[in-house]
Amino acid sequence: MSATVSPLAPKSYAEMPVIRGLRMATAAAGIKYKNRTDVLLMAFDAPASVAGVFTRSKCPSAPVDFCRSNLSHGVARGVVVNSGNANAFTGLKGRAATELTAKSAAQALGCSEQEIYLASTGVIGEPLDATKFAGVLGTMATDATGDFWLEAAKAIMTTDTYPKVATRSADIDGVTVTINGIAKGAGMIAPDMATMLSFVVTDADIAAPALQALLSEGVGPTFNSVTVDSDTSTSDTLMLFATGAAAADGQARIEHADDPRLAGFKTALNAVLKDLALQVVRDGEGARKMVAVTVTGAESDLAAKRIALSIANSPLVKTAVAGEDANWGRVVMAVGKSGEMADRDLLAIWFGDVRVAVNGERDPDYSEAATTAVMKEQDIAVKVDIGLGQGTATVWTCDLTKEYVAINGDYRS
């Protein structure tokens, strides 16, 4: 955790209600950090439905492999998360660490290892000494409590400068249900199926296949539309759990994602995912500004998203934002290199409400003063109209500052 909190941090944290059927505990195992918690246990009192999306990196971490193999069973009793070590690119030692952790967690919770899920974040390539926390899982299981969301979010941070929490409520057939989530991430953020690490839990009673469909669809416009530095982590893990406790209030179990009774829940879930995803971008390493890149008029929505990502991931665009320089030529460059159809002479570009370019050249009414005022804001909107079709997309990113280089230049020390 950085000494200085991002200027884009939320001014206050959401009041996180207890989710019935879930208890949590944290511990300081000294994996990398001194004098702070670095292990989180989430314990479900009864088997919970589970869904997950993971990195599409071809070099996934050992915990990602472990979660993927257990997901087909569709049931969770416990989740163990550690920060400070990603347990990625650790070979047989990595697998042994996941096996020891799962065995210890299963014993602590009185369940099978197929009902345990694992996630690790931190340095890649360092063997993870799972004995450091395997021994404390029993105590954690006993001490776990429901009112612990903010502490849980703190325990999974690495270069994050603040914990990330979000909550919403929804109505399923007249019964109110709650959705809570935590996330971590600040660098190596260009999620490909999920973010760095995020765990979302609801007390709704929803079957695993329905949960999986909701989650897989929900990541597209949220976690898969944010980028800090274009780098996809080996550890990206986003999991959604449903404890089913709302059944006690009379909520009928939902078996299918297309059930019309899920409409409100789906909206609330997507709001939690977007809330967490944007908090990750606002904590981008060294970030001072948040940028929303919207592309319209592309050949398709997919083309629009690729163009938006080309702009959002451009170091030249991001450094121009950091320097408060309305250099729309950088945006033209990023559109041109995206690989998607674009017509130079049809392009229009806006910074905030100020149109800086139209019909492939500088706007005749261009005002340097008006554009500079936009660039001094903390939140900046960049809009590009391609002028070819109906495709639209929005992607969120942050500026690229000297601080980013400093943080990543000595990450392992």
Rounded to an integer, what distance in angstroms lies between the CA atom of residue 300 and that of residue 297?
Answer: 8
Torsion angle (degrees, nearest 10) of CA 128, 180, 11, 320: 60
For the annotated catalytic residues, the residue numbers are 195
299 burial type by CB count under 10 A (0-12 exposed, 13-18 middle, 19+ buried): middle
Contact status, residue 123 vs residue 86, Cβ threshold 8 Å: yes
> What are the distances in angstroms from CA 383 to CA 47, 93, 292, 308, 398?
46, 48, 8, 9, 15
Task: Kindly write down the DSSP assignment for every residue of 104-158, as one continuous string.
Answer: HHHHHHTS-GGGEEEEEEEESSSPP-THHHHTTHHHHHHH-BSS-HHHHHHHT-S
> What are the distances in angstroms from CA 255 to CA 5, 212, 220, 261?
42, 11, 22, 11
Rounded to an integer, what distance in angstroms lies between the CA atom of residue 177 and that of residue 320?
Answer: 44
Rounded to an integer, what distance in angstroms lies between the CA atom of residue 31 and that of residue 34?
Answer: 8
Rounded to an integer, what distance in angstroms lies between the CA atom of residue 111 and that of residue 384?
Answer: 53
